[in-house]
Amino acid sequence: MTPATPLPETVHFHRTELSVILSLYGRMVAAGEWRDYGISSLKDVAIFSVFRRTAEMPMYRIEKRPKMAARQGQYCVIGMDGRILRRGHDLKTVLRVLERKLIRAVE
């Protein structure tokens, strides 16, 4: 790239989105379910990956894809096996699929 060429835009989580995600993350850490996370900001997607241990594959990926906002919703939760567990327009609603796992872990 030349200096005059602008860098491609990347997708990021906003502060309000991260607040919702990190609130859930903190509760899952307190329950002993999750131990580490990683955030990736790419050209088409922002990813919040959750790990049980640092060296493993992520247990869950919370993705934000703005191009899907008009269709099925820009937020989705993907399991370790690559299956989409929940997709939608509202982040809190999408994350409820992981809240249920927290309730089972506490019981």
Owner of token pair 């850490």? 29
Whether 2 is covered by a domain: the verdict is no
Question: Which two structure tokens, joined as six digits, stand for 16?
Answer: 């309000």
Nearest to 60 by CA among 90, 30, 88, 99: 99
pTM over 0.95: no
Q: Is the pLDDT of residue 107 over 80?
A: no
Does residue 100 surpass a pLDDT of 80? Answer: no
| pLDDT for res 99 | 83
Beta strand pairing call for 84-88 and 60-64: unpaired
In a domain, 57, yes or no: yes
Structural domain including 73 reads 15-99
Query: Which pLDDT value is given to residue 105?
Result: 56
- The model's pLDDT over 28-78, given as tens digits with 9 standing for 90+, comes to 999 888 899 999 999 999 999 999 876 678 999 999 998 888 888 899 999
36 belongs to a structural domain: yes
Residue 75 domain flag: yes
- Provide the domain count of the chain: 1
Please determine, for residue 106, whether its predicted confidence score (pLDDT) is greater than 60: no
Residue 55 lies in a domain: yes
Percent helix, percent strand, percent coil in the chain, to nearest 5? 35, 25, 40
Q: Is the dihedral of CA 58, 64, 68, 74 positive or negative?
A: positive
> For the chain, what percent of residues have pLDDT higher than 70?
84
Strand bridging mode 36-41 / 46-51: antiparallel
